[in-house]
Structure 1
């Protein structure tokens, strides 16, 4: 999978929101609304955790793929561009040596 694959998936989902197609699962999710989309994101997240906990890599890959798809549906529904997420990931990849700062605890709160 390449960055292009993710962008193509996002673009397909974006197109389904604008151009409804009968029998499309993506269109079904958009028609049902945010609550249904979020429910599916939660389900797929749980299924990914269970597959990983069971040590079944092939099942985990399937569940991760489902999770990414449903996250993209949520992103499109919320108007979040894939480029924005990729830019944030790029920004984070440049951070090193911040583990100590991340784990500091404010003992006054």
Structure 2
């Protein structure tokens, strides 16, 4: 198993965001802004769902990687560190998912 983590990917996204948009897809997404990055995240989410429904293991793996990458781009543009998301997830593990959802305030 690889030692590569989402934290490593977060660092790579931050570095590549500083490159020229002509040389980096990440920089191109940053230059296009949050709306474009979020739209791309949505497209990847849909492609991930389609692969899951089709039981296409290879495509699901590839699309999940795209989804995670684009999520980290959207988070970086919004200046939300992965650690903040992980803290929320960690807090949710203290109770069952059913109890956690019931305790959420409707938005």
Tell me the TM-score normalised to structure 2 length.
Answer: 0.83
Which residue of structure 2 lines up, in the alignment, with residue 37 of structure 1? Answer: 37
Looking at structure 2, the residues matched to 68 and 39 of structure 1 have their Cα atoms a distance apart, in angstroms, of 14
Task: Compare CA radii of gyration and give the structure with the larger one.
Answer: 1
Q: Which runs of 5+ in 1 are unaligned?
A: 105-109
What is the match of residue 12 of structure 2?
12
Change in 2 beyond 3 A, CA 1:100/1:8: closer
Could you list the structure 1 runs, at least 4 aligned residues long, displaced by more than 6 angstroms after superposition. Answer: none
Cα distance change of structure 1 residues 95 and 2 upon mapping to structure 2, 3 Å threshold: farther
Q: RMSD of the alignment, in Å?
A: 2.2
Q: Which runs of 5+ in 2 are unaligned?
A: none
CA 1:100–1:80 in structure 2 vs 1: closer, same or farther (change >3 Å)?
A: closer
Cα deviation, 1:42-78, whole Å, max 9, x if unaligned, reads: 1000000000000111111111110000000000000
Give the distance between the partners of 1:62 and 1:71, measured in 2 at CA.
Answer: 14
Distance 1:101 1:90, change over 3 A: closer
CA gap of 1:100–1:79, structure 2 versus 1, over 3 A, is closer
1: CA distance, partners of 2:37 / 2:62: 18
Q: Which deviates further from its counterpart, 3-12 or 52-61?
A: 3-12
Tell me which of the two structures has the higher relative contact order, counting C-alpha pairs closer than 8 angstroms and 6 or more residues apart. Answer: 1
Give the TM-score of the pair, scaled to structure 1: 0.82
What is the number of equivalent residue pairs in this alignment?
A: 102
